[in-house]
Amino acid sequence: MKNMSITLRPMSANTGMEVLGIDLREPMGEQAYLEMRHALCDTGIICFHGQQLSPAHHLAFAKRFGAVPPAEFLKTPDGFPEIGIVAKQPGETRNIGGNWHSDHSFDSQAPLGAVLYARELPKSGGDTLFANMGAAFDSLSDGMKETLRGLEAVHAKAQSWHADTRPDRAVSPAELARHDEEFKDRQCVHPVVTRHPETGREILFVNPTYTSHFVGWAYAESRALLDYLFAHATSPENSCRFHWEEGSMVFWDNRSALHYALNDYHGQRRVMHRATIYAPG
């Protein structure tokens, strides 16, 4: 019987696991499901190649792992409001997710994760980077760990327009002011060190896009330590690079992984479908 067991192959030393020997159009056995969930929680990402999925298959897989609400901020395919279309057209220069981040960390309840499936890919470029924030915390010194355990940080959606000044991501002063006003209340305070709700592992929970400063610290003081933590977390030792192919799908654990959609395919079209998953309750 199909999908009763799987084979796992590491993507790198600390981050990511490729799942082999499964057809996601078919029902998934309980053992295969448990092995995938364990790999996801442990390494931050599981990935698949050679899948031929309809939106219904995509959605059914995502719902096996949690609740899938309607997509926010994105267009959706007809009949599937839970699946967001992440697209960049040939004439566009700005992409979605083109910097290191954790989805919706500015909300009190961030998603469990997201499942991204390739629909149309550029001839070259468009890879996605991932970083395991459990491995990032593990590899800090004992003194730094103890310092961070006592800190909280502000995560703000409006911060994303201030955090990145690269020309291909720049916004006008008027647009910046509009975003600041529209999203001024879309922010939350989180501990800098969290525990993974399924494994209990300590996680470094900050990201360059939405984390603005530590509670009780000046922005300049915060920036010095945050920049160090961001560089450490996304180092080659704590990260991996995923190369998309036709039929590829990635499921990342948003509680313990950062991701970065590379924007290196100007003049080409890239279309992905994304289902965002929340833990029940």
Residue showing tokens 């009190």: 108
pLDDT surpasses 60 at 179: no
Could you tell me the pLDDT band of residue 53, with boundaries at 50, 70 and 90?
very high
Total of domains in the chain: 1
Task: Tell me if the pTM is above 0.75.
Answer: yes
**Chain mean pLDDT for the chain:** 92
Give CA–CA dist 133/256, Å, rounded.
5
Q: Which domain holds residue 226?
A: 1-281
Stronger pLDDT, 180 or 120, i.e. the higher one: 120
How far apart CA 21 and CA 15 sit, in angstroms, is 20
Task: Give the pLDDT confidence score for residue 126 in this predicted structure.
Answer: 97
Q: Reduced to 3 states, what is the DSSP secondary structure of residue 138?
A: helix
- Residue 124 exposed, middle or buried by CB count within 10 Å (0-12, 13-18, 19+): exposed
CATH of the domain at 278: 3.60.130.10
pLDDT of residue 170: 62
pLDDT in tens, 237-276: 999 999 999 999 999 999 999 999 999 999 999 999 999 9
